[in-house]
Structure 1
Amino acid sequence: MKRLIPLILITFLAFSCSNDDDSYYHDYHLEYIGAVDANVPSEFVFGRTYRIEVTIELPNSCYFYYNQYDYFYEGTSRLIYPIAHVDDGVSCTEDIREVTFPIPVQALQQETYTFKFYQGQDSSGQDTFFTIDVPVVN
């Protein structure tokens, strides 16, 4: 009997984990989405931590934001690329909405921070940004 119980349990788990229900699974991709605004302090005090508020615009109901972004260091600059989850193969409605999310930043350099917020690509495929400089004080 002791050997039968694990066998029944394994069989039950194998069949209960079936992914035949397609209503929960769908294709999607991730894509960079342009920032439309950012709320940044006028200055940083060295050593303190701040929250930058970034606003993005989701163009339709197939776009979702799950607090994902790429944050790249480039010298004293910080490049910020918000990432949207986009559902594929489903019908979308025109539901333009703005989402604001925080990015924590600790002022650990003495030089001015240059924040470059991704806005999209130009006609030649080059990334475009809007830029905000934040000086650091002691």
Structure 2
Amino acid sequence: MKKVLMPFILIVACSWFISCEVDDDSPNFYFTALNTIEAEVPESFEFGETYDIEVTFLRPNGCTFFEGFDVVQTAETSRDVVVIGSVLTDENRVCTQAVEEVVATLKFKVIYTDDYIFRFYAGDDADGNATYLEYTVPITEGVSSN
């Protein structure tokens, strides 16, 4: 019995020393959509190639950070793109209120031979409806080396 009880007591004692108390387990951030102000898309795409699309967006304050892109395929060659940010909500954190333009790169691989349509989320209008910057990129034939 002593051999069975000793490991159990040891585990309980170690967990007491290792454990820590967290006062607040609520999230200290949330995700938000950021407004795109410009996207530098190529004049054309070539099938099978990968492109860097430079996206300029607004960072509204010092507590908002770029997290990535949410790209939704709305049709075979149509994409809605939203810049995603995280906003820190720590009570003790002081945030600058300066709005800053930031550039991030969206890597995009061309997998279809039809023209692509990109719609980048640019914010909401006065009625609360989403607005978009829209770009159409045609596909060009690759140069053959025959």
- Could you state the TM-score of these two structures normalised by the residue count of structure 1? 0.81
Counterpart-to-counterpart distance in 1, 2:44 and 2:71: 20
User: What is the one-letter code of the residue matched to 1:37?
Assistant: E
Structure 1: gaps (5+ residues): none
Structure 2: gaps (5+ residues): 142-146
User: What is the one-letter code of the residue matched to 1:95?
Assistant: A
User: What is the one-letter code of the residue matched to 2:82?
Assistant: Y
Q: Give 1:89 shift.
A: 4.8
Q: Give 1:16 shift.
A: 3.3
- Per the alignment, do residues 35 and 15 of structure 1 end up closer, same or farther by CA in structure 2, a change over 3 Å counting? farther
> Where does residue 104 of structure 1 map in the other structure?
107
User: What is the one-letter code of the residue matched to 1:59?
Assistant: P
> Where does residue 126 of structure 2 map in the other structure?
123
Q: Output the aligned Cα RMSD.
A: 2.6
SS in 2 for 1:61: coil
- Whether the 8 Å contact between 1:26 and 1:87 is mirrored in structure 2 is no
User: What is the one-letter code of the residue matched to 1:39?
Assistant: E
- Per the alignment, do residues 134 and 21 of structure 1 end up closer, same or farther by CA in structure 2, a change over 3 Å counting? same
User: What is the one-letter code of the residue matched to 1:34?
Assistant: N
Q: How many residues align?
A: 136
- Could you state the TM-score of these two structures normalised by the residue count of structure 2? 0.77
Counterpart-to-counterpart distance in 1, 2:57 and 2:14: 45
Q: Give 1:10 shift.
A: 6.8
Identity of aligned residues (%): 29
User: What is the one-letter code of the residue matched to 2:72?
Assistant: F
After superposition, give the CA deviation of every residue in 1:43-90 in whole Å (9 maximum; x if it has no partner).
001111111111111111121112x22101112211001111012253
> Where does residue 138 of structure 2 map in the other structure?
135
Paired residues for 1:39-78 under 5 Å: 39-66=40-67, 68-75=68-75, 76-78=77-79
> Where does residue 18 of structure 1 map in the other structure?
20
Counterpart-to-counterpart distance in 2, 1:56 and 1:107: 23
